[in-house]
Amino acid sequence: MKETDSEQTLREIMSKSRLEVPFPDFEDKIMGLIDNRISKKASFSRDMILSWIFFILGSAFGIVVAILIPKIQQPVLGINLEKLSIPFRIIFAFLLLSQIDRLIDYYKGYNTKRNANNEWYC
């Protein structure tokens, strides 16, 4: 008899604990928002990996070109390439440093957002 009373009491408590949602599609909207956050998180991490890959590939290509330009003896369009070697290296160094700075800032923002999102999901 006691088990039946406790079961009945539990059912009453559970029926009173039911939350009423403000709108009929409230739950669907919330689940949609969660799905959007998860897909954005996956997209952001993929973009981070691709940005580092293309940065490394572009840097390697720029280094190879910087090494090869002074070795070319033939003038191109009437311009001696040895004279273009130093301006190319200066421009390359400026672009390399500015892009690595942007990637590091992007990575810091990525880690900050990732840590904040992990706390929300856990």
Domain residue spans in the chain? 22-121
Residue ranges of the chain whose pLDDT lies below 50:
1, 120-122
Could you tell me the CA-to-CA distances from 7 to 64, 84, 113 in Å, in that order?
77, 87, 45
95-105 pLDDT, tens digit each: 999 999 988 88
pLDDT value of residue 12: 80
pLDDT of residue 114: 60
Instruction: Give the pLDDT score at 13.
Output: 81
Q: Is the dihedral of CA 80, 83, 87, 90 positive or negative?
A: positive
Whole-model pTM over 0.85: no
Q: What is the pLDDT of residue 60?
A: 93
Strand partners, 76: 79
